[in-house]
Structure 1
Amino acid sequence: MRLRIDRHFRALLAVLAVTCLLGFGFKQHCMPGGWTDSEQYLTGCYSDAVPFWTARAVDKGSIPYLQTPIEYPVLTGAAIWIEGAATHLIFGREANDAKFLGVVTAVNIALAFLILWMFRRAGMDRRRLWWWAAAPPLILYVGHNWDMIAVTLAVWAMLLAREGRLIRAGAAAGLGVAAKLFPIVMLPLFALSAFLGQGRGWWQRVVRAGWVKLAAIGAWLAVNLPVALLAPANWSEFYRFSQARGGTVAGTWDVLGNLGILQLGTPGKNLLAALAFAIGGAAIIGLGWRRHHARLWLLSTPLLAWFMLTNKVYSPQFDLWLWPMLVMTAPRLWPVALFAATGIFAYFAEFWFLAGMDGAWPAANTLDVAGAAAARALVMLWLIADCVRRAPPEWVTLPLARQAEAALPGRAHRKGARRQER
């Protein structure tokens, strides 16, 4: 039996390696000679790592925040600096943007393998493991930027919550927020789970929920506070930039504006995005309460999807945030396949729109982008409804069943153990 499991895992590793190599080639194929004639948009090979090499002084070895501003949270900024230093160390005088892109992609590939290992260790069923190993978003985004750091921390937080380790889950999510904002949507669910946990007195539950919050805040502060004290203006650049920037062409509010339905400036988008997320998030928790109150962490997936839909910014790589969460928690997988397909259409629609702005062809217009974004949004709403209304996948519930069985006394416990063996 063990031999079969090992062979299966080796096959998963091989497939994930092929997926990641395709992602590596997808971003690297247009690097020889540099980007010309808008090929980074036409072929989809654009990566944030390439402009960052010079625009954020990675080529000069400048330290983010202390020597150069950067529009990413601190943990991501630290990764950019380390990867830049590694590029200089490995390649010396031959270091350039293509080599930097290779190092960034290699680190992201390592994180993809780490997620596969975490999934397997957690007991995820084989079919879902294949959905991560052969994930289309990995091909598109494993070399796109640095979001894989926050994705890995978010996966870790979810798996810790599944095991009932809510304080550690809060700390992991806090570290995720120090890399990218989106893991913050998990924290209210972790705190609620701690407060509503069974088998504890009222005061014990209040204290445990408080520890979850303190663990998240403490982890975030441990990363952010030194930089905030040393370079407050550059440290706050990410938060000021997020508040002041306009939307993106595939974001819900810009799609509505380009269709002439709702014309908003940046302050209006900020306000409506916050209100829509708060109202919809409360509805997701309220409607999901009856089925998922024992595992509220499961509602992180629909909350994240709703956050992506209501945010004023929907960058293409946001799909990578949601994919591992869907692999973990989506009750049905075939709508997840539709999410991947519509995400690919939206990816090329958005980049061909940028190509059109450069006067290149093929070109997309705002209606093309709106159509692709609307198709993806409808699938995401479907997935939100599925995650709220339907029972979770079986692998999620197994640990609780085993815990309950282990608590059975004497003869009943032995009978339960024999049933497991059979």
Structure 2
Amino acid sequence: MTAILRRGPSMARVVPYLPLGLFAVLGATLAYVMRLPCRNGGWNDQTATYTNFCYTDIYPLYFDRQLATQNPYFADVPFDKHVEYPVVLGEVMQVVAWIARWLEPGVTQEAIAAQAARFYDITVVLMGLCLVAGVLLMAAAAGPTRRWDAVWYALAPAVVLAAYINWDLVAGALSVGMLLAWARKRQVLAGVLLGLAIATKFYPLMFVGALFLLTWRTGRWRPFLVTMGYAAGVWLAVNLPFMVFAWDGWRRFYVFSQERGVDWGSPWLFFHNKGWPILGETDVSTLGMVSLALLCLGIAVLTLTAPRRPRLAQICFLALAAFMMTNKVWSPQFVLWLVPLAVLARPNWKPLALWQVAEVWYFFAIWLYLLNQAPLSRTDLGIGDDTYFTAVWGRVITIGIMMAFVVRDILRPDKDLVRQGGVDDQIGGVFDEAPDRFTLRSLAFR
């Protein structure tokens, strides 16, 4: 090791990241292994898919979104058969589909089945690389004193279980990369990555509010405006061609998001299922928007009244957790969104471990619950409503506990594990060590 470090400072900077990269490779490999029962034919049997807990959107969407023959946005198909994802993600799917067709040419049923399996394999490799990149970027953002916190992202049980359900790890790598760029005060790069992240999955939009609130408190408007300007420009640049030439395919994601009813994982499903007055009867989109607005207002008041400026990771975590808890759908893979921010916000293993237990229980519960639903209706294998909703509320409660601890750390900075190490804000960038320019407390004492 001494000989390696003598080769120069660049090697010395790289060496500490090698074990983390290997841990991420291990996590990606474990995620692949747990889906081998489906990869080896189980996807053709829905009961086997659920009993082996190896469901993924990747394989069936190759058929259902016409990826075997057409571009997912330009395809001449019914509106509800267009890809229901933002354009970066849809084009990632398209590129992988091209490669799969090149490796397994043909238009017969057997050839298309082989292409779908190849499409899954290539996508898994890409997602694995995104996980490795996300872990290394998170470690760099966390800083030398908390670098090893990134092991949570590499090997957390819920991450391994949910890694290949969908394409969320692409947005994860872009989002964590954006946070690192902001931490390094590279506002242009941060804006580019944020624009791409929002054009991949919509949840990074919640980071805009966190940046705005801390900008308001510190008065560092120029970096914020530069980042937002580039984010908006990049988002428009990648979306505009589809808006002009494939309007129906482009707007499918937005129409689907707006019209989608209450769905699996959401606490609103519990109220709907139980027929609660108001909560179970009011339009879920309205309930979700109002509740999210109230939580965001609370986060804003907290940010602008706290005795010391909160860290960026804390506000990003609170905003994203609020979004997930009030959304009308809460898929198992959404855990991938929150893990990096939860760890950066409060790297305490006990609440993180408790949350992971809840996420793991939900992962198994959702597939057992679906076994009990039509068209399968396997009551001998599945679970009922009451058991399933223990998993739904388990996630809500454990994330609520973590949010409460983060709020406590913001109100009592001496309890913040990160700041106890002599750090002000490890991903704050221009906010790090910045004095206050505006707080609600200052208004109260004028």
Fold-level similarity (TM above 0.5): yes
1:400 Cα offset (Å): 8.8
Matched, 1:299 2:320: no
Q: 1:370 aligned to 368, 380, 389, which one?
A: 389
Residue of structure 2 in register with 1:113 after alignment = 132
Indicate the residue corresponding to 1:50 in structure 2.
59
Distance (Å, rounded) in 2 between the aligned partners of 1:404 and 1:150: 24
Equivalent position of 1:238 in the other structure: 253
Find the residue that maps to 2:173 and give its secondary structure: helix
Amino acid across the alignment from 1:338: L
Pairs within 5 Å for 1:78-97: 78-93=91-106, 95-97=114-116
Read off the aligned partner of 1:295 and give its amino acid letter. Answer: R
- State the 1:342 CA deviation: 0.4
**Is 1:40–2:49 an aligned residue pair?**
yes
Distance apart, 1:255 and its partner CA: 1.4
Superposed CA offset, 1:64-103 (max 9, x none): 2111521111011011101111212234355332221111
Instruction: Give yes or no for the alignment of 1:315 onto 2:331.
Output: yes
Is the 2:56–2:165 Cα contact (8 Å) retained in structure 1?
yes
User: In the superposition, relative to structure 1, how do residues 132 and 121 fare at CA in structure 2: closer, same or farther (>3 Å)?
Assistant: same
Q: Does 1:189 align with 2:210?
A: yes
> Shift of residue 161 of structure 1?
3.0
Does the Cα contact within 8 Å between 1:284 and 1:388 map onto a contact in 2? no
Cα 1:10–1:405 shift into 2, 3 Å: closer
Query: Within 2, Cα distance between the matches of 1:402 and 1:80?
Result: 34
Distance 1:219 1:340, change over 3 A: same
1:38 counterpart SS class: helix
What does 1:270-349 align with in structure 2 at a 5 Å threshold? 270-289=285-304, 290=306, 293=309, 295-349=311-365
Return the alpha-carbon distance in structure 2 between the equivalents of residues 262 and 184 of structure 1.
32
CA distance in 2, matches of 1:403, 1:353: 47
- CA positional deviation for 1:350: 1.1
> Contact 2:424–2:432 (CA<8 Å) still a contact in 1?
no
> Is structure 2 residue 421 aligned with structure 1 residue 393?
no
1:77 equivalent to 2:90? Answer yes
Match in the other structure for 1:379: 398
- Structure 1 residues 284, 13: CA separation in 2 closer, same or farther (over 3 Å shift)? same
Task: Summarize the alignment of residues 54-203 of structure 1 with structure 2, pairs less than 5 Å apart.
Answer: 54-60=63-69, 62-67=70-75, 69-93=82-106, 95-122=114-141, 123-124=143-144, 125-166=146-187, 168-197=189-218
Whether the aligned pair in 1 keeps the contact of 2:194 and 2:204 (CA below 8 Å) is: yes
Unaligned runs of 5+ in 2: 6-11, 410-415, 435-446
The change in CA–CA distance for 1:398 and 1:90 in structure 2 (over 3 A counts) is same
For residues 157-207 of structure 1, the C-alpha deviation after alignment (integer angstroms, 9 at most, x for no partner) is 222333344554344222211111111111122233334435x6xxxx3x5
**Which stretch has the larger CA shift, 159-168 or 224-233?**
159-168
CA contact (8 A) 2:73 2:246 kept: yes
State the secondary structure of the residue aligned to 1:236.
Answer: helix
User: Aligned partners of 1:300, 1:56: CA distance in 2, in Å?
Assistant: 33
In structure 2, C-alpha distance between the alignment counterparts of 1:405 and 1:105, rounded to whole Å: 37
- Counterpart Cα distance in 1 of 2:428 and 2:342: 22
| Letter aligned with residue 192 of structure 1 | L
For structure 1, which segment, 145-154 or 112-121, has the greater mean C-alpha deviation from structure 2 after superposition? 112-121
Q: Secondary structure at the match of 1:328?
A: helix
1:96–1:400 distance in 2 versus 1, CA, 3 Å = closer
Q: How big is the shift at 1:208?
A: 4.8
SS at match of 2:264: coil
CA–CA distance in 2 between the matches of 1:226 and 1:292? 45
Q: Which amino acid aligns with 2:179?
A: M
Output the CA distance in 2 between the equivalents of 1:168 and 1:262. 48
Query: d(CA) in 1 for partners of 2:124 and 2:162?
Result: 9
From the superposition, tell whether residues 43 and 405 of structure 1 become closer, same or farther in structure 2 (CA, over 3 Å): closer
1:331 and 1:17 map into 2 onto residues whose CA distance is 22
Q: Unaligned regions of 5+ residues in structure 1, if any?
A: 408-422
Q: Deviations over 1:292-327 (max 9, x none)?
A: 626345301111011000001111111111011112
The aligned amino acid for 1:161 is W
Distance 1:404-1:59 versus aligned 2 partners, 3 A rule: closer
What residue is the counterpart of 2:8 in the other structure? none
8 A contact 1:247–1:266 mirrored in 2: no
In 2, Cα distance between the equivalents of 1:404 and 1:308? 26
Q: How far 1:347 moved relative to its partner? A: 1.3
Name the % identity. 26
Aligned mates of 2:272, 2:159 — CA distance in 1: 31
Structure 1 143/368 Cα, relative in aligned 2: closer, same or farther at 3 Å? same
Task: Kindly state the Cα deviation for residue 7 of structure 1 after the two structures are TM-superposed.
Answer: 6.5
Aligned residues: CA RMSD: 2.9
* Counterpart Cα distance in 2 of 1:184 and 1:163: 20
Contact 2:313 2:341 in 1 (8 A): no
Letter in structure 2 aligned against 1:160? A
Deviation at 1:406, TM superposition (A): 12
* Contact 1:329 1:392 survives alignment (8 Å): no
Specify the SS of the correspondent of 2:182.
helix
8 A Cα contact 1:195 1:208, kept in partner: no
1:398 Cα deviation (Å)? 6.7
